A = this chain, B = another copy of it.
């Protein structure tokens, strides 16, 4: 059965909808996205449907999390296709506000998770996590979900959001969903749409290098530097790839580590041509 999916563009209407659902004791699940949906998003939606009575998907390309030199204006968008995909998943509400609705003239309030924002992508994308924490705080106040689901490909983002929820006392359960990969190993991302066929093949060096690191850790290699250098070498063997960072760190604090342990995070950011891609894995002992 295909239900009617409501499309809501205004904050007040969204808040009213959620308030009514909560009064009826319905459990609301939110999947925040920037649109241009792919299979990984739909997995989050399906996961979400198991966790509550009503599912809201937001589509908002958040300017506050892009630096001036980044790809905000060219970030891929296809609202009609997204809408059809979400209708097929029986989503209850597609929340799709305009930029002016979220950041009206004179907007000046920002949420920052100070320490977790310093590491990994934070060093290369100044202001990025402040933009993420701000828009997620707003979405939480607008949609008022009981549960919110985020993909683990954006591992640092998930950590920042968990910290934000804990620190600001949002009464929300944050769920991380495992990375969804294409059959050949490439982590799904809307930015994969930027890749030429040749770059698409080159981009496999990310997941390949992570698998190599996982093998090394399982073989008993302890020194973080030995593993990260092997990962770098694997990526740098690919002419189209440029490493931004390869870091082994604690999976909770994101602080760098010198020796590997079970549960440590290996995270990397790599440019394939002009496209910046990220990937990560949790190492086993």
Contacts and interface: CB of A to CB of B under 8 A. Distances in A.
B110 A163 contact: no
B114 A169 contact: no
A15 B169 contact: yes
Interface string A116-140: 1000000000000000011001100
Contacts of A142: 169
Interface in A64-117: 107-116
A141 interface: yes
A170 interface: yes
A171 interface: yes
B169 A138 contact: yes
Nearest to A115: B108
B109 A141 contact: no
A175 interface: no
Contacts of A134: 168
A109 B23 contact: no
Contacts of A25: 23
A133 B109 contact: yes
Interface string A14-46: 010001001101000000000000000000000
A251 interface: no
A141 B170 contact: yes
Contacts of A141: 168-171
A195 interface: no
Nearest to A15: B171
A108 B15 contact: no
B168 A109 contact: yes
A105 to B, nearest CB: 12
A168 B64 CA distance: 14
Given A108-B113, A112-B112, 5 more contacts: A15-B171, A22-B22, A23-B23, A109-B133, A109-B164
14 contacts: A15-B171, A19-B171, A22-B23, A108-B115, A108-B163, A108-B167, A109-B112, A109-B113, A109-B133, A109-B164, A110-B114, A111-B168, A138-B167, A141-B169
